[in-house]
Amino acid sequence: MSVAKPWKLYLIVTAIICLLVGAGVSWVLKPPPAGWVSPEDYEEALTYPFPGTPLSNYTFPGMPLFNYTGTLRVFTWTGLGREDPMWWNEGPWGFNKIYPNVDIEWLYFEDEPDALSKLILDPTYADVIEVCGGQFKLIDNDLIEPLDPTMVPLMAEFFPEWEFYDAFWKDGELYAVPFEFGYTSLTYRIDMFEEWNISESPDDTAILFSDIPELKEQIWMYDSVIEIMDLAATHVG
């Protein structure tokens, strides 16, 4: 993402703030020990009286006025349903509560190489991008710019492990803000392993690279070079 104009940067930061609250507001406000949020806690957190609940005149210095009219282009993964208001427009920091006259235009990519190629063709293609593992290529190609952490006040509520997670920083500068987290997991059908008389327990990713004939053309994984390279690197050590 190439952010040449200050107002776009401020809109981006505001959008990230809204994503943070919309996706995990109860985790931000009162982090549970394991980082898990129950539906009850989430609903309760949506009614939490924020000391800084946005009012009609709410802005950070230099941000567009609340009555700014325009379109914010958000570049995200296809199929994740980010356009659902749950992710960005709920709670007291809901984006359209701050900027009711700003429309969101959703743009999609299949994986990181797809996003990279689209942004190389047009660096102004989007204003906000959701990154997941491939952001360093975007940084190296000058396609995204660092964020000012002081413009993301909810980061102060993060666990230090998240606030300073090295995947979002490079050369001491912040390039992304986490709003959800997940693992790549290994799942298999016990009944099929029993039917095929496979005694090997798939307790790590080595099973994906085994020469067990019954597993030929029976393994499914995410079709992304980033995902496949990570799994292969884990396997070879």
For 18, 116, 210, the CA distances from 141, given in Å and listed in that order, are 27, 9, 37
Delineate the domains of the chain, giving CATH numbers in brackets: 6-174 (3.40.190), 190-236 (no CATH)
Nearest CA-CA partner of 88 in 156, 24, 35: 24
Nearest CA-CA partner of 145 in 173, 110, 120: 173
What does R_g of the chain's alpha carbons equal in angstroms? Answer: 21
Query: Residue 102 in 3-state DSSP?
Result: strand
pLDDT digit string, tens, across residues 92-111 = 778 888 888 999 999 999 88
Q: Model-level pTM?
A: 0.62
Using 50, 70 and 90 to split pLDDT, how confident is the model at 153?
Answer: low
Distance (Å, whole) CA 39 – CA 46: 11
Nearest CA-CA partner of 133 in 165, 163, 104: 165
Query: Residue 103 in 3-state DSSP?
Result: strand
Share of the chain above pLDDT 90, in %: 10
